[in-house]
């Protein structure tokens, strides 16, 4: 744990602790209230998940480019989605669709038992893997593939989080939810206003809650190198 803390503190010199505290302050003002989520965001060095040239903006509450026309999600969205996922108590197995930079993956890895992360762009995933090893977060396994299909071999999952927008909820993800399992997913047209949904698998069917308007990059079919 001490080693982990040391790793997490790395680079504090380059982005001051005050800047990080301001971000936490802002997230709580915006309604994030789960203390574990806030603490994990406080200790996770987001600047290691973006290009060096953008590191000075890493603690702003904003999405930033990570190459391949993709973005690292806004900290508020990462916090909010994690909080919604954990709202009913701790989770064991969580699948993430859209590893991207690996930032949301790193946050989840510190909040749940095991993370299964699927990404279609190989080079993004390779870089994300390196970052998680660097931070000594070892309860994550990665799959290069089409997240619309989920990861059926290791299903079911107690939680599924999708960090790209789908035109409709992929059936495979619903199929891979455990009883009582929670799916947090943005749905809607690419480039326009989209809705963040919470879908819970009940004994007989699913309940859906609309959590609000969001903007995500699109979920695209098929893996690429």
Contact set with ligand SAH (CB under 6 A): 66, 70-73, 97-98, 100-101, 103-104, 118-121, 124, 146-148, 163-164, 217, 219-221
Q: For the chain, how big is the Rg over CA atoms in Å?
A: 16
Catalytic member of 73, 82, 101, 117? 73
Q: Give the nearest distance from C-beta 160 to ligand SAH in angstroms.
A: 12
Shorter beta-carbon distance to ligand SAH: residue 124 or 187: 124
CA distance 35 to 29: 13
Shorter beta-carbon distance to ligand SAH: residue 18 or 65: 65
Q: How many CB atoms lie within 10 A of CB 179?
A: 10
Q: Give the nearest distance from C-beta 98 to ligand SAH in angstroms.
A: 3
Residue 159 bridge partners (DSSP): 94, 182
Shorter beta-carbon distance to ligand SAH: residue 133 or 202: 133
73 is catalytic: yes
Contacts of 147 (CB under 8 A, 6+ apart): 97, 98, 118, 119, 120, 162, 164, 219
Q: Give the nearest distance from C-beta 44 to ligand SAH in angstroms.
A: 12
Residue 212 bridge partners (DSSP): 196
Shorter beta-carbon distance to ligand SAH: residue 69 or 179: 69
Q: Give the nearest distance from C-beta 118 to ligand SAH in angstroms.
A: 5
Q: Encoding tokens for residue 132?
A: 């998680």
Classify each residue of 58-86 as buried b or exposed e, where b means 16 or more C-beta atoms within 10 Å of its C-beta: bbbeebbebeeebbbbbbbbbbbbbbbbb
Contact, 150 vs 97, CB < 8 A?
yes
Catalytically annotated residues: 73
């Amino acid at each position: 744990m001490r080693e982990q803390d040391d790793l997490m503190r790395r680079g504090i010199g380059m982005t001051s602790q005050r800047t990080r505290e301001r971000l936490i302050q802002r997230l709580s003002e915006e309604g994030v209230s789960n203390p574990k989520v806030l603490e994990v965001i406080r200790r996770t060095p987001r600047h290691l998940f973006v290009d060096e040239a953008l590191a000075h903006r890493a603690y702003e509450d904003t999405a930033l480019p990570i190459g391949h026309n993709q973005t690292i999600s806004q900290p508020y969205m990462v916090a909010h989605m994690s909080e919604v996922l954990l709202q009913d108590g701790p989770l064991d197995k969580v699948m993430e669709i859209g590893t991207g930079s690996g930032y949301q993956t790193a946050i989840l890895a510190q909040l749940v038992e095991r993370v299964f992360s699927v990404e279609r762009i190989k080079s993004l995933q390779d870089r994300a893997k390196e970052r998680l090893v660097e931070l000594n977060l070892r309860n994550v396994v990665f799959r290069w593939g089409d997240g619309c299909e989920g990861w059926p071999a290791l299903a079911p999952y107690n939680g599924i989080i999708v960090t790209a927008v789908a035109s409709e909820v992929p059936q495979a993800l619903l199929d891979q939810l455990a009883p009582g399992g929670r799916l947090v997913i943005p749905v809607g047209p690419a480039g326009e206003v989209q809705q963040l949904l919470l879908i819970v698998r009940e004994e007989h069917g699913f309940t859906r809650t609309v959590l609000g308007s969001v903007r995500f990059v699109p979920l695209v079919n098929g893996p690429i190198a």
